[in-house]
Structure 1
Amino acid sequence: MTLIDALIQYGLFMAKTLTLVLAIGLLLIVVLRARPGGSGDDDDDGSRLEVVDLNGRYANMADTIKAATLPPKMVKKAFKAERKAEKARAKAEAADKRRLFVIDFHGDLMASEVGALREVISALLIAATPEDEVLLRLDNAGGAVHEHGLAASQLLRLRSAGIPLTIAVDKVAASGGYLMACVANRLLAAPFAVVGSIGVLAEMPNFHRLLQEKGVDFELHTAGEHKRTLTLFGENTDEGRAKLREQLEETHAQFKAFIAAYRPTLDLSKVATGEYWHGEQALSLGLVDAVQTSDDYLLAARAEADLYKVRYRARKRLLQRLLGADGARALARPLARPIGSVARWLRNLGGARCA
């Protein structure tokens, strides 16, 4: 067998393998997206809102430490005294004790948790009052402008309803993350949290010269002068580059105007440069209102507020129910990572990102 024959056989083998993998992937997608009745309706699909009593959780943690470190007699005496004090305090404060609702938001490029966020906020708008408070623990390094703009708009629903919103940044609120954070009535940051990065970027590779070398033509037909500014495979022009830069500047101006509306004392000429700062620096620049971790904020609030963690748990797909979350991720990972990465990359080609 010659080298050419071997290469042909190898190519056929790879084509068959790729076809099989794609077929399995399509089958998994069909199964995972299946809904009872085939209507695609999300109502009554098993998704649910979960509420955890954080006061009770903290009390249980403290009791566990006491039980493990104190003599049995002292433990029994301490528990009895605590229960008595709790009953008296609950009776005295039941009428006017406020509620503090805690939400977690972990950001990614496409702000994929915004769907769960909107469900939680809708529920809180029904149940909460202006005497209550919402604490959002935010961890978000930014991403697509439209997705993070939607996330910020969800938070604005709380402010519009007059419900106090505190946002705590323990790790990072940069770019689109800060777009969300600036909406807060009060913004906290941990000492080494990363805050800022108020800027916009767009990036893509261009393979035009490589295609020319290989004798491959690429055609792109559009209707509209600026339907496409830069392309992946075509020859980019100075006019297209200038138009994209113009769009980036417009998005940056909108970004700054949004921040100015909710933090009017901020000097944007100093902070809207794309740079980021840590806790104390961010405080001195006016990017945040205090340097404090979310844990300290909650521990200080538990004496005068009922703390509740609220989370929206979406319905598990069929594969997750059969194999469990870990098993489903392990099975789907070989396909999900390359397919998801390529899909996100193609979807965002040439698109502006908060950065």
Structure 2
Amino acid sequence: MKQFFKFVLATIIGVVLITVVLVLVVIGIISASGDKTIEVEPNSVLHIAFTNPITERTPNNPLAGLSFLGLDKDKSTGLNDILANIKKAKTDSNIKGVFLDESYMVSGQATTEEIRNALIDFKKSGKFIVAYSEIYTQGFYYLASVADKVYMNPKGIFELKGFNSQVTFLKGALDKLGIEVQIIKVGTFKSAVEPLFLTKMSDANRLQVTSYLGSLYDHFLTGISKSRGINKDSLFNYANNGRVQLPEDAVKLKLIDGLKYKDEILDDLKARTGTIKKNDLNSVELADYTKSNADSDTKDESSSKNRIAVVYASGEISGGEGDDNTIGSERISKALRKVRLDNKVKAVVLRVNSPGGSSLASDVIWREVMLTKKVKPIIVSMGDLAASGGYYISCAADSIIAQPNTITGSIGIFAILPNMQKLFNDKLGVTFDGVKTGKYADLGDISRPLTPEEKLILQNNVNHGYDDFTKAVAEGRHKTQAYINSIGQGRVWTGEQAIKIGLVDRLGNINDAIASAAKKANIKNYNLVAYPEQKSFFNQLSGDVTAEARTRILQSELGNNYKVYEQIKGVTQIMRTPQARMPYSIEIK
């Protein structure tokens, strides 16, 4: 009987929890369906605070603002809406300025660059930008340095220490487990596999990391130097010698303008907007401003029959459908076919933000880009990453536009097959036996090592993939295959470096790519349409929401060690088919 009541109680609790979740869903949907245009009060401040990862597009989530299943209550705003809102605020008479509030820039450097450039353009209106933070990470300070005034909490933390790149090597752990990782690759610099068979960086990898990290850091210092009027060499020395240890040091070196508490910042903003000190400051959140009906200089082109399609390809590349955060070859191919066959679409912008992935899936998308190019202009806009497979799908475009700190190149192919014989036999006491009808019937069996003949088969497969890759790049970039091979070999480049070697045509943002597409299509008035269509909230609910909740929980529990978990997880995912993938993630804090 006691056991019976336990089961009954568990069932009741389960029903209650499900009911609560469903009620929250209904509330969210009702709330979302009732959304109205936001009225911006006169003398308002656009409040910008980045606390969530910045995606390419604002998630399609009517429950934004609620907090359950481990999700934040904060509303996430995609780069598309961030840039549009800053542009809109520039000419909105009700917006007097921007308040950049304490943020942790969970974004790549190219994303930060686009937002920073939008803020620089905003300043042309004569409106103010004030930045404040308790903790200035290097990423947020790079963004905030464009502000008219940069303040921080008197007891805060200011980081200026330089960039570093660290790789987690797993060979020692794999050896202890009795796992041998069999590597088949092309490319001296293709270092994604190094953590599996080395205990430190190879000389080639150290060379390329030193090169591109130096390029990124030089651009970082140049931007701050220009905004703050501080000599770039001085900035380098401040970081190199640890000159900024206390908030007072940042003021003394003119990196910031002063030390203030939050209430003092709010009083300053009230004074700037003509608000009486005892009254509340009129402000509008970035996410809410998307729904405002501001007076903007953006032309109403809704009557135009011409369209420019922006196809978003964001995340790792694999076969199948994918989703808003991964590139499924089937989903992106369908989108490219749709815009290619749509007579109203006069040009296409392919927005690529990807470290690569499956070489086969990359080739499938490349084919669709090639076919699209034959009938209408297609321009690639590179985000934080457009490397390896991300470059593969880009190379056939009419033109490639990147940010100076975009990470690109990494033209190379590799395959990984683990040999777990020692783990099974020696560690676990498990053995295998069987029969086969052909010599290679069990090729790819992880319970034994590859034979020399099998290694040759796989190496030929990878060589063929690399040959196809370099041919595609050579054709798309109008270079010889020999030249592409010389700058390929898996080497990573920044956008600034890529221009010099011909992998990128010019520097710019997604709006520059759209303007370029319009010019090539010889159209002036047009509507923008985005593809692929974002999944409905109900389609995302069971998968994306729970996945995001799981990610948030892991990040909370593991803290800074989460990046190690991500690296190990990534290694296990690439032990499948030949890959055209970035060697590692790059994180600048």
Name the aligned partner's letter for residue 173 of structure 1. Answer: A
Aligned to 1:308: 528
**2:409 touches 2:490 (CA, 8 Å); kept in 1?**
yes
- Deviation (angstroms), 1:168: 1.0
Alpha-carbon separation, structure 1, partners of 2:537 and 2:83: 29
- Deviation (angstroms), 1:106: 0.3
- Deviation (angstroms), 1:105: 1.1
Q: Secondary structure at the match of 1:143?
A: strand
TM-score by length of 1: 0.64
Alpha-carbon separation, structure 1, partners of 2:404 and 2:435: 52
Task: Select the structure with the greater relative contact order (CA < 8 A; seq sep ≥ 6).
Answer: 1
Q: Secondary structure at the match of 2:95?
A: helix
Question: After TM superposition, what 4+ stretches of structure 1 lie above 6 angstroms from structure 2?
Answer: 52-59, 79-83, 299-303, 331-334
- Deviation (angstroms), 1:167: 0.2
Q: Secondary structure at the match of 1:181?
A: coil
Alpha-carbon separation, structure 1, partners of 2:504 and 2:315: 19
- Mark the CA change 1:243 to 1:259 in structure 2 (over 3 Å): closer, same or farther: same
Q: Does 1:249 align with 2:469?
A: no
Q: Does 1:127 align with 2:347?
A: no
**1:54 touches 1:307 (CA, 8 Å); kept in 2?**
no
- Deviation (angstroms), 1:181: 0.6
The alignment's C-alpha RMSD in Å is 4.3
Name the aligned partner's letter for residue 122 of structure 1. Answer: R
What is the aligned counterpart of 1:287 among 499, 503, 519? 503
- Mark the CA change 1:222 to 1:108 in structure 2 (over 3 Å): closer, same or farther: farther
Name the aligned partner's letter for residue 340 of structure 2. Answer: L
1:117-173: CA deviations, max 9, x gaps? 23432332333468x22111101111111211222223223113x110000112111
- Mark the CA change 1:169 to 1:228 in structure 2 (over 3 Å): closer, same or farther: farther
Q: Secondary structure at the match of 1:354?
A: strand
**2:386 touches 2:407 (CA, 8 Å); kept in 1?**
yes
- Deviation (angstroms), 1:221: 4.6
The within-5 A match list for 1:148-187 is 148-160=362-374, 162-187=375-400
**1:199 touches 1:274 (CA, 8 Å); kept in 2?**
yes
- Deviation (angstroms), 1:209: 1.9
1:314-336: CA deviations, max 9, x gaps? 34556828xx96467437999xx
Alpha-carbon separation, structure 1, partners of 2:355 and 2:367: 17
Q: Secondary structure at the match of 1:314?
A: coil
**1:141 touches 1:174 (CA, 8 Å); kept in 2?**
yes
Which moved further from structure 2: 181-190 or 287-296?
287-296
- Deviation (angstroms), 1:288: 1.2
Name the aligned partner's letter for residue 159 of structure 1. Answer: K
**1:220 touches 1:234 (CA, 8 Å); kept in 2?**
no
Q: Does 1:191 align with 2:404?
A: yes
1:182-211: CA deviations, max 9, x gaps? 010111111011111111111133221233
Alpha-carbon separation, structure 2, partners of 1:142 and 1:219: 37
Name the aligned partner's letter for residue 243 of structure 1. Answer: I
Aligned to 1:104: 312
1:65-115: CA deviations, max 9, x gaps? x3222899xxxxxx99969xx68xx7xxx88x9542222110314262334
Q: Secondary structure at the match of 1:313?
A: coil
Alpha-carbon separation, structure 1, partners of 2:447 and 2:296: 74
Alpha-carbon separation, structure 2, partners of 1:173 and 1:226: 36
**1:120 touches 1:310 (CA, 8 Å); kept in 2?**
no
Q: Secondary structure at the match of 1:117?
A: helix
Name the aligned partner's letter for residue 239 of structure 1. Answer: E
Identity %: 20
**1:107 touches 1:177 (CA, 8 Å); kept in 2?**
no
1:235-274: CA deviations, max 9, x gaps? 3322222222222112211222222232232522312211
Q: Provide the aligned length of Structure 1 versus Structure 2.
A: 283
Q: Does 1:141 align with 2:323?
A: no
